[in-house]
Amino acid sequence: MSERAVFATRIGAIAATVGSAVGLGNIWRFPYEAGQHGGGAFLLIYLACVLVMGIPVIVAEFVIGRASRKNVCGALRALSPWRGLHFFGYLCVLASLMIMSFYSVVCGWILEYIMQAVRGGMTGHTSQQNAEMFAQFVQNPWRSVMWTILFLLLNYLILRRGLKRGIERLSNVLMPLLAVLLLAFCLNSLFMPQVWQGLSFLFTPDFSQISPRMVVGAMGQAFFSLSVGLSCLLTYASYFKENDSLLRNATMVAVFDTLVAILAGVMIFPAVFSYGVAPEAGPKLIFEVLPSIFQQMPVGGLWAVMFFALLFVAAITSTISVSEASIAFFCEEWGMSRNRASLLNTVVSMIFGSLCALSFGVMSGFTIAGKTLFELFDYVASNVFLPVGGMFFCIFVGWLLDRKLVKDQLTNHGTLSPRMLKPLIFCVRYVAPAAILAVFLYGIL
Ligand code: PFF
């Protein structure tokens, strides 16, 4: 992009940013992480992380992005009082490629499930058969690699069309529709036999479940779900208009993202207990549970197609934003055309994505530190890179950036009320970096 784009409308900017945050992180990752870490206690710590770390990091990224109107490296170079800090941007690009790689595998699973739903391939299945179907599918090297590659091709087609036309139009229409559908499924779950067991698993904290692993996991989940720490929101904010309110946009992202995660929990857990699936089943959790949910609904096949299709849209608005961070970098730092940058992003993701897809089958024996490539990319990107990135952005804005510049960005040069400014800057300077550090230390010690 030689002349920098801005989002055409305020709603478009919010929808695209919320679209980045709301994705598989909320509907696929949150339920399985909560399931593995004891439900209610995980939710509580997760919410604390969103509040204490997530929101300050969103604000920090927004300030850097809009003040510089550049990609992460360019922004750090332009705003930093010290030389060399822009190298941190390379880490963000690396993290974004890692996330793209494992995320597109799950997007591929969704494509397979859309196809199965259209063909009626899940009708009449017992929960046991649903579990077998998933296992057979992910172990098949050709199918899972093919869907991963197909997904990345679709992602590429949208990326190539540029910012406004591609991303904005898609998010404006389909995100609200997903919310409506999710609400309908939650209502449906409230009529399941084990509804109370499911809801109390999700909402009653059992404090004995709190462990270093769980707290690090909740922090990683908060960062992953909010899309923070990777410069993705920074890049989007570089396309915001001068009169957009950064604080309002940040609140919108946090509120919508959290609501969708909780709704996903309300939809999944009553079903988990009603169909006798283990809550700690891991990444396959929703793929085993959802088909059973659809089955007991009238015209279940139709619901299944709609749900997986919308989940696909939620996922692709997130992958577009992850890709956008590295594409802005390739274009502005390495002088590539948008088309070439999108292609580079796609090819690298295809290579590593295929390896991640094979982690469930032929490459399941290939592990590093006890984790398959898929698990490793997910774990390292979410639990290490994103929180480190978040801490960096907070310290950068809180301690290195000119105070007046920060204030101008947050109040739109004095036109917005500075009421929340002081507590917010306090959180960016002290609370968020200290909390992230504390969680890391708790995790290691
Ligand atoms: N927040 C997205 C989700 O919940 O699915 C995933 C994601 C997007 C993570 C962008 C990180 C990121 F930078």
Give the residue-averaged pLDDT of 133-140: 94
pLDDT confidence of residue 372: 96
Q: Three-state DSSP class for 415?
A: coil
Distance 16 CA to ligand 1 centre (A): 12
24 lines ligand 1 (CB under 6 A): yes
Residue 76 and residue 68: Cα distance in Å, rounded?
8
227 lines ligand 1 (CB under 6 A): yes
| CATH of region 10-444 | 1.10.4160
Residue 69 and residue 3: Cα distance in Å, rounded?
11
Distance 51 CA to ligand 1 centre (A): 17
Distance 43 CA to ligand 1 centre (A): 18
Tens-place pLDDT, residues 318-371: 999 999 889 989 999 999 998 999 999 999 999 999 999 999 999 999 999 999
Give the residue-averaged pLDDT of 433-445: 91
pLDDT confidence of residue 3: 55
Distance 401 CA to ligand 1 centre (A): 26
The residue nearest atom 11 of ligand 1, judged by CA position, is 227
Enter the DSSP assignment of 396: I
Tens-place pLDDT, residues 235-269: 999 989 999 999 999 999 999 999 999 999 999 99
- 368: which strand partners? 371
pLDDT confidence of residue 174: 78
Position 178 confidence tier, pLDDT thresholds 50, 70, 90: confident
Residue pair 393/61 in contact (Cβ under 8 Å)? The answer is yes
23 lines ligand 1 (CB under 6 A): yes
322 lines ligand 1 (CB under 6 A): yes
Instruction: From the CA of 23, give the closest atom in ligand 1.
Output: 5
Q: Three-state DSSP class for 434?
A: helix
394-405 burial, b at 16+ Cβ within 10 Å, e below that, comes to: bbbbbeebeeee
Distance 227 CA to ligand 1 centre (A): 4
Instruction: From the CA of 25, give the closest atom in ligand 1.
Output: 4
| Mean pLDDT (the chain, rounded) | 92
Rounded to the nearest 10 degrees, the angle between the axes of helix 169-189 and helix 10-21 is 50
Residue 228 and residue 55: Cα distance in Å, rounded?
9
Quick one: tokens of 308?
Answer: 């997986």
Tens-place pLDDT, residues 30-66: 999 999 999 999 999 999 999 999 999 999 999 999 9
390 lines ligand 1 (CB under 6 A): no
230 lines ligand 1 (CB under 6 A): yes
Rounded to the nearest 10 degrees, the angle between the axes of helix 300-334 and helix 88-119 is 160
pLDDT confidence of residue 105: 97
318 lines ligand 1 (CB under 6 A): yes
387 lines ligand 1 (CB under 6 A): no
Residue 338 and residue 346: Cα distance in Å, rounded?
12
Phi, psi angle pair for 124, to nearest 5°: 80, 5
Quick one: tokens of 63?
Answer: 């300030």
Distance 436 CA to ligand 1 centre (A): 19
